Amino acid sequence: MQAPLNPEHTVSDAASTSPQQAAARIRVVLVGTQHPGNIGSAARALKTMGLSRLVLVAPQKYPHNEADMMAAGAEDVLAAAVVHDTLAEALSDCRLVLGCTARSRRVQLRELGPRAAAAAVRADADAGGEVALVFGRERTGLENAELQLCHAAVHIPANPDYSSLNLAAAVQVLAYEVRMALLGEAGAAPAAVAVQPDAAPHAELEGFFAQLADTLDAIDFHKGRTPDSAMRKLRRLFVRTGLDRQEVRLLRGVLADAQRMAGLARKPED
Amino acid sequence: MQAPLNPEHTVSDAASTSPQQAAARIRVVLVGTQHPGNIGSAARALKTMGLSRLVLVAPQKYPHNEADMMAAGAEDVLAAAVVHDTLAEALSDCRLVLGCTARSRRVQLRELGPRAAAAAVRADADAGGEVALVFGRERTGLENAELQLCHAAVHIPANPDYSSLNLAAAVQVLAYEVRMALLGEAGAAPAAVAVQPDAAPHAELEGFFAQLADTLDAIDFHKGRTPDSAMRKLRRLFVRTGLDRQEVRLLRGVLADAQRMAGLARKPED
């Protein structure tokens, strides 16, 4: 259900969403955090910037007293943190997912600066969407498979000779930009990511991609080609498009018929 | 002395000052820092954002191995740090001095947000001025006498219910804004629509749409549905995406295999 529950807001009436309402739709997801102190520091960074939803994916040590110590006044954010086993679970109801990366990666994703990212976060949260900002491991960041769950990458334009912002510093900078955007001080930058009014949530997109992969197998598409490369390109294409829910249903209908035909071709005796 | 020393630049010709030249005119001054670890963290925050001039006024414990530990890769910034006994000495050659405060103080000073402060820092540094960003003690901030040495106060608009950014986090946010200003991204609107570098020309798109329509027929997709409506929606979707030529070839490859399977399904005897 994409329509806002509160009849006061509509997609075209973003001004009626308060910064607090928008902030409540924004989660910060830490993936595979190694040092529990960083989880506490991140909780603190969120709270200073008026955010409250911390999500942990497979943290290496948690709960841990170092997390509590570093939270220093943001224990409420830490206590409310949700823990998941996989990033996909943490994102299942999200409509916009931005992955923070230290630098451009092999994965081809559109890259946004923090300010443009914050504008996109605000636009989507104002329109009623669930939004995630995803941060990877301290040393190694996000894996390619994790980045592929993201709609765009966020890159903090740090000093190229020394770009090692620590995890808490990166969370602080992004949370700060999100707060500035929610307060309306983004420099009035337009949202860089087009928001579909009825955008398909993450889980529906993933369902479509899974069926697309099955269909490619069924029609013998991969013969002599690497399956991963084609799926990567197709994912990129459809993520860029920003499919709405009706379009996902239409495309899945096409795939279902192609799969049915492939089944008939393989079992002519039926 | 307001006029730039180098006759090549003038105040109105900021473009001739490189971000590196401007960064070299910006110092970050930490007053009475209590925890040496914060001095190291501040050195790191500066370096990530391309700044290098750290000035310490009467630090409580310095040098100190905690400062070295927290600097982690920014030891050069720490080694070059200048120590003064008083803030006045640290600012003697400065043309613009901005004091960071947790909140409005009794001292009547113009108050700037971090973005406006960074724009002012850039303008002055571009024009050849020496600029200082001053941060006070962890617990008590800057004293009134110290704030009176500042031309304006900078206030990070944190969550009013929990505004306690730690010292390193505040330095990180300000240094980040300064870097964004030096890179010229202060208000620059991001590109709203990504331009595909190798966009498929019209005829290739139409070839793809014709094959898509044929494929829908072949897999019996239209059964009970109006063909036009589905094709209209699919056209709209793919036109919006802005396909490049390689993507058109990829999609046509998928369609060709679906068509082949449909052919096999219809003529099992072949």
- B window 123-152, beta carbon within 8 A of A: none
CA-to-CA distance for B150 and A172, rounded, in angstroms? 26
- Average pLDDT of the segment spanning B8-30: 75
Contact A218 B261 (CB under 8 A): yes
B246: CB partners within 8 A, 6+ apart: A233, B198
* pLDDT cut 90: percent of chain A above it: 61
Q: Which of B169, B162, B42 is nearest to B103 (CA)?
A: B162
- Average pLDDT of the segment spanning A133-153: 92
- Average pLDDT of the segment spanning B111-135: 93
A11: CB partners within 8 A, 6+ apart: A4, A127, A128, A195, A197
Burial of B4 (0-12, 13-18, 19+ CB in 10 A): middle
Test mutation, A20, A52, A112, A172, chain B, max B CBs within 10 A: A172
Name the residue among B48, B218, B220 with its Cβ closest to that of A159.
Answer: B48
DSSP three-state, residue A28: strand
CA-to-CA distance for A119 and A152, rounded, in angstroms? 13
Model pLDDT, residue A197: 60
Model pLDDT, residue A203: 82
CA-to-CA distance for B66 and B43, rounded, in angstroms? 12
Domain parsing of chain B, residue ranges: 14-182, 202-266
Q: First and final CA of chain A: distance in angstroms?
A: 40
- Band the pLDDT of A38: cuts 50, 70, 90: very high
CA dihedral A207, A213, A214, A215 (to 10 degrees): 110
Q: Which of A197, A205, A200 is nearest to A149 (CA)?
A: A205
Mean pLDDT of all residues belonging to chain B: 84
- Provide the CA A159 distance to its chain's centre, in angstroms: 25
Q: Which of B17, B77, B78, B71 is nearest to B52 (CA)?
A: B77
Contact B233 A241 (CB under 8 A): no
Contact B47 A185 (CB under 8 A): no
Of B34-38, B218-222, B236-240, which range is least confident? B236-240
Q: Which of A234, A228, A32 is nearest to A142 (CA)?
A: A32
Statement: residue A4 has pLDDT above 70: no
Position of tokens 């709609």? Answer: A151
User: A242 vs chain B: nearest CA distance in angstroms?
Assistant: 8
Q: Report pLDDT digits (tens) over B143-189.
A: 988 988 888 899 999 998 898 789 999 999 999 999 999 998 544 33
Q: Report pLDDT digits (tens) over B124-149.
A: 999 889 999 999 999 999 998 898 88
Of A128-142, A254-268, B179-193, which range is least confident? B179-193
Name the residue among A48, A113, A157 with its Cβ closest to that of B164.
Answer: A48
- Band the pLDDT of A202: cuts 50, 70, 90: confident
> Which ranges of A49-192 would DSSP assign to H, the alpha helix?
65-71, 75-79, 87-90, 114-126, 144-147, 167-182
A255 vs A4, residue with greater confidence: A255
φ/ψ region of B159 (left if φ > 0, alpha if ψ in -120 to 50, else beta) reads beta
Regarding an ipTM greater than 0.85, the answer is: no
Token pair, residue A106, equals 């092999």
CA dihedral B76, B122, B159, A152 (to 10 degrees): -80
Token pair, residue A122, equals 């605000």
Count interface pairs A-B at CB distance under 8 A: 177
User: B251 vs chain A: nearest CA distance in angstroms?
Assistant: 8
DSSP three-state, residue B159: coil
CA-to-CA distance for B65 and B196, rounded, in angstroms? 52
Model pLDDT, residue A155: 92
CA dist A84 to A57, A74, A89, A201, Å?
5, 21, 7, 18
- B window 248-267, beta carbon within 8 A of A: 250, 253-254, 257-258, 260-265
Chain A contact set for B45 (CB, 8 A): 169
| A231 at interface of B, judged by CB pairs closer than 8 A | no
Statement: residue B27 has pLDDT above 80: yes
Of A109-118, B93-102, B154-163, B217-226, which range is least confident? B217-226
Contact B219 A243 (CB under 8 A): no
Contact B47 A159 (CB under 8 A): yes
Domain A202-266: give its CATH code. 1.10.8
CA-to-CA distance for A218 and A236, rounded, in angstroms? 21
B168: CB partners within 8 A, 6+ apart: A169, B38, B41, B42, B44, B45
Contact B157 A164 (CB under 8 A): no
Mean pLDDT of all residues belonging to chain A: 85
Q: Report pLDDT digits (tens) over B29-85.
A: 999 999 999 999 999 999 999 999 999 999 999 999 999 999 989 999 999 999 999
| B221 at interface of A, judged by CB pairs closer than 8 A | yes
The DSSP secondary structure of B49-83, one letter per residue, reads TT--EEEEES-SS-S-HHHHHHHTT-HHHHHT-EE
Contact A48 B169 (CB under 8 A): yes
Statement: residue A134 has pLDDT above 90: yes
Model pLDDT, residue A177: 97
- Band the pLDDT of B200: cuts 50, 70, 90: confident
At B249, the amino acid letter reads R
- Average pLDDT of the segment spanning A215-227: 85
Name the residue among A165, A230, A258 with its Cβ closest to that of B48.
Answer: A165
Query: Buried b vs exposed e over B28-47: b needs ≥16 C-beta within 10 Å?
Result: bbbbbbebbbbbbbbbbbbb
**What is the assigned CATH class of domain A14-182?**
alpha beta
Of A16-30, B7-21, B135-149, B155-169, which range is least confident? B7-21
A47 vs B204, residue with greater confidence: A47
Of A58-62, A241-245, B68-72, B192-196, which range is least confident? B192-196
User: B41 vs chain A: nearest CA distance in angstroms?
Assistant: 10
Statement: residue B268 has pLDDT above 90: no
Backbone angles phi, psi at A232, to 5 degrees: -60, -45
